[in-house]
């Protein structure tokens, strides 16, 4: 039996593999990657490396075995049919008789276009008959703290979220929830709504940035169309800019406030405060 992590060298996947190695022997972990060289550090620690690509169904042939637990980390190629990509993994897991397939989805209340691929994948997974876990991950702290350059350049936080709030948490928090499911028992056919313990507004985020940098950083709410213009002006493709603006519109409606407490219950600890993520980003 292996615990198999797809997208294992991605931002979330690396956290998952690192935390798995704290709980199970390395030989029980398989990292699925597109580029084996990027996983050389895992291989050196005894992790099995499997090369496969969501866009090449045959690359998953024989990758899974009966009894394996699989974490399907959602792809980030928004323009390549993510539902079709995810179905490749689900089909392979079903054919092999996998014991569990956990999928990193999106909050159940999210109506933004970003959620469409996740809902499509959930439907396929539930119809597959494979024992499943839906990890409906909320927003990540790092979505904001890893891109502080324009904020600090203009001393401004710009979003189309009005006074909406976000229950974000760190990638490490969401990874810990996935590890708890993959190494624990009794999670089959369950759905977890995951988010940080404390929701925050963009005005509060700007105030926290001001406190930690000693600068006057203000929140400037804009319309979704204005945000699209700003993002495309910065070089983002318009379709992706509109997806991000749609998420902000959902934030304004309260759709990224997650009050279930599932994340801290699964991990057995409080979620990482936004202030800690800001501190780490400012230090870097």
Q: What is the pLDDT of residue 245?
A: 96
Is the separation of the CB atoms in 123 and 180 below 8 Å? Answer: no
Give the least confident one: 8-12, 54-58, 160-164.
54-58
Name the strand (E) or helix (H) holding 242: helix 238-252
- What's the rounded mean pLDDT across residues 199-214? 97
Minimum mean pLDDT range among 67-71, 76-80, 159-163: 76-80
Which residue has 């279930």 as its token pair?
260
Residue 80 pLDDT > 90, yes or no?
A: no
Q: What is the pTM of this model?
A: 0.96
Domain boundaries, the chain: 3-137+170-194+259-271
- Distance between CA atoms of residues 207 and 219, nearest Å: 8
**Spatial contact of 132 and 101, defined as CB atoms under 8 Å apart:** yes
- pLDDT mean over 149-154: 92
CA distance linking residue 183 with residue 221, whole number of Å: 42
Q: Examine the pLDDT at 44 and tell me if it is beyond 70.
A: yes
3-137+170-194+259-271 topology per CATH: Rossmann fold (3.40.50)
């Amino acid at each position: 039996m292996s615990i198999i992590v797809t997208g294992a060298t991605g931002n979330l996947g690396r956290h998952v593999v690192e935390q798995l190695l704290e709980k199970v022997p390395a030989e029980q972990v398989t990292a699925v990657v597109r580029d084996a060289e990027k996983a050389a550090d895992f291989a050196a620690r005894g992790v099995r490396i499997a090369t496969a690509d969501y866009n090449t169904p045959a690359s998953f042939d024989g990758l899974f075995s009966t009894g394996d637990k699989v974490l399907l980390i959602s792809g980030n190629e928004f323009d390549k049919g993510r539902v079709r990509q995810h179905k490749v993994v689900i089909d392979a897991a079903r054919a092999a008789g996998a014991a569990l397939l956990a999928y990193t989805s999106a909050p159940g209340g999210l109506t933004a276009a970003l959620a469409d691929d996740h809902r499509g994948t959930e439907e396929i997974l539930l119809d597959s008959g494979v024992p499943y876990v839906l990890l409906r991950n909320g927003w990540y702290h790092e979505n904001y703290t890893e891109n502080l350059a324009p904020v600090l350049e203009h001393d401004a936080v710009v979003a189309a979220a009005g006074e909406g709030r976000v229950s974000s948490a760190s990638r490490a928090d969401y990874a810990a929830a996935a590890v708890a499911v993959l190494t624990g028992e009794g999670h089959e056919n369950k759905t977890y709504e995951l988010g940080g313990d404390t929701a925050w507004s963009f005005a509060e985020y700007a105030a926290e940035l001001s406190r930690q940098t000693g600068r006057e950083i203000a929140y400037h709410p804009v319309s979704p169309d204005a945000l699209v213009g700003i993002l495309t002006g910065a070089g983002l493709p318009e379709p992706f800019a509109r997806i991000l603006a749609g998420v902000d519109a959902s934030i304004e409606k309260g759709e990224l406030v997650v009050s279930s407490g599932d994340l801290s219950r699964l991990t057995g600890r409080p979620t990482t405060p936004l202030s800690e993520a800001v501190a780490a980003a400012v230090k870097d």
